[in-house]
Every structure is written in structure tokens, then in C-alpha cells.
């Protein structure tokens, strides 16, 4: 109980006098403050557990948040951030964030240029996500055979939300293959071809 009161007091103290666009919070545990919203980005510094931080906003989905800690600015995964909600300290989640004033923000080259020019890795912007990220974030495949034919289905989801599914059916020496791709903005393209095995 005493620890909860102390954490709540620290969060409330961090909130005092801040602009409405920023939300006072504390780090749940020792956590790396990253130069971008992914563990692939370099660590700017370590934020110690129970240290007051300022949350300026989070990416859509509230997975990673733009955080200020002393003179540092960077990104922390939301599960490592604790805020006060309805008088009690809670971990920052998507349902809680809007209720405590955490807004949705983006991450781009302007942010990088504003805060990281003095760091040795500043010139490597293009090697970090999303610019150097793998194009595929998930992949699955399945094969079903019966009655003299086989059907295989392979699918992938891309970093930006697009997806592709390829279905290949073979039987009696002939095969057909259909690939359907859905772009991140909803556009659909389908290609079908037939060939002999």
C-alpha cells in the first residue's frame, strides 16, 4: 500500500505544471529510452524504475510512447509506463491512455533530426525501422492433400499492414496458382496462372 501511494505521489508531482499535451508518469522498471518505437533502435539512456517521466503521446494502438526524461527524449514501450487513473497508479494501456490525456502521435525523420543530431548513430536513420525493417512481419503456410490433388496456402503480412495470400492447387499433372495481395491502404490485386507439373 505504501509503495502504491509513493508511486501515485511521484506521478502526480510529475504532472504538476506540465502542458496539457504532456502526461506525467513513472517508469515501471529500469527501461531503455530508445531513439525510435522499436527495440531495433539504439538506446538513448536508461530510465530508472519509479523515475518521473513525461509522456507526450503514443503511436496508434498505444504500443510505444514518446517520452521525456530529464534532458533526454525518446520512446518507451507502453507496458513500462505507469500513470494515475481514477486515483490509482496503472500501467498505460490503449483503454486508459485517452482517459488520462495521452494523445496519438507519429514518428518520422523530423523527430529524429530534432532530438538526435548529436548522437553517433544519427547518420544511420535509414537502417532502422520502418525504413530498414523487414518487409514481412508474419508468415504462415499449410498443405492439404487428398483425392489425387494437393493444395498449399502461403500467406504473409507486411510491416505496413498489407498482406498477400498464394494458393496453389495441383492434381492430374496440372497446377494453378492464385496470388491475392491487399495493400496497406486497402487496394487488391489478384494474379492467376496455370502450368504443368
pLDDT at 159 > cutoff 60? no
Q: Can you tell me the distance from the alpha carbon of 73 to that of 162, in angstroms, rounded to the nearest whole number?
A: 31
Give the model confidence (pLDDT) of 79-100 as tens digits.
999 999 999 999 999 999 999 9
pLDDT band per the 50, 70, 90 thresholds, residue 162: low
| Alpha-carbon torsion angle 72, 57, 132, 120, nearest 10 | -10
Say if residues 197 and 173 touch (Cβ distance below 8 Å): yes
pLDDT band at 10 (very low <50, low <70, confident <90, very high): very low
Name the residue with higher pLDDT: 28 or 16: 28
* DSSP assignment of 13-53: HHHTT--TT-EEEEESSSEEEESSSSTTSPEEEEEPTT-EE
Q: What is the pLDDT of residue 180?
A: 79
Q: Is the pLDDT of residue 117 over 70?
A: yes
CB atoms within 10 A of CB 92: 24
Residue 54 contacts by C-beta under 8 Å, 6 or more apart in sequence?
A: 14, 18, 22, 23, 24, 25, 67, 68, 69
Query: Cα–Cα distance between 118 and 110 in angstroms, integer?
Result: 15
pLDDT one-digit tens code per residue, 170-186: 887 788 888 777 765 56
Residue 158: per-residue pLDDT: 65
User: Residue 27 is placed in which grid cell?
Assistant: 517508469
Top pLDDT among 162 and 48 is at: 48
How confident is the model at residue 137, as a pLDDT?
A: 59
Beta bridge partners of 169: 151, 176
* Predicted local confidence at residue 183, as pLDDT: 65
Identify the three-state secondary structure at position 167.
strand
| CA-based R_g, the chain, Å | 23
Q: Which pTM does this prediction carry?
A: 0.59
Q: Is the pLDDT of residue 6 over 60?
A: no
Cα distances (Å, whole numbers) of residue 119 to 40, 44, 78, 179: 16, 9, 24, 44
The label of the residue with cell 481514477 reads 86
Right CATH number for 2-127 from 3.30.9.10, 2.30.30.40, 3.20.20.70, 2.60.40.1080? 2.30.30.40
Q: How far is residue 45 from each of residues 13, 30, 86, 185, measured CA to CA in Å?
A: 22, 10, 31, 36
Amino acid at each position: 500500500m505504501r509503495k502504491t501511494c509513493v508511486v501515485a505521489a511521484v506521478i502526480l508531482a510529475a504532472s504538476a505544471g506540465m502542458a496539457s499535451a504532456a502526461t506525467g508518469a513513472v517508469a515501471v522498471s529500469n527501461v531503455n529510452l530508445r531513439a525510435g518505437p522499436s527495440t531495433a533502435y539504439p538506446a538513448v539512456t536508461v530510465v530508472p524504475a519509479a523515475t518521473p517521466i513525461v509522456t507526450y503521446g503514443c503511436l496508434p494502438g498505444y504500443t510505444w510512447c514518446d517520452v521525456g526524461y530529464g534532458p533526454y527524449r525518446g520512446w518507451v514501450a507502453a507496458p513500462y509506463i505507469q500513470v494515475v487513473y481514477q486515483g490509482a497508479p496503472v500501467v498505460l494501456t490503449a483503454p486508459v491512455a485517452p482517459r488520462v490525456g495521452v494523445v496519438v502521435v507519429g514518428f518520422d525523420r523530423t523527430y529524429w533530426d530534432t532530438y538526435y543530431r548529436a548522437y553517433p548513430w544519427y547518420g544511420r536513420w535509414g537502417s532502422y525501422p520502418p525504413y530498414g525493417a523487414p518487409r514481412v512481419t508474419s508468415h504462415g503456410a499449410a498443405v492439404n492433400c487428398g483425392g489425387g490433388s494437393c493444395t498449399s496456402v502461403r500467406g504473409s503480412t507486411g510491416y505496413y499492414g498489407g498482406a498477400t495470400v498464394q494458393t496453389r492447387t495441383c492434381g492430374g499433372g496440372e497446377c494453378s496458382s492464385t496470388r491475392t495481395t491487399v495493400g496497406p491502404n486497402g487496394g487488391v490485386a489478384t494474379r492467376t496462372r496455370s502450368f504443368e507439373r
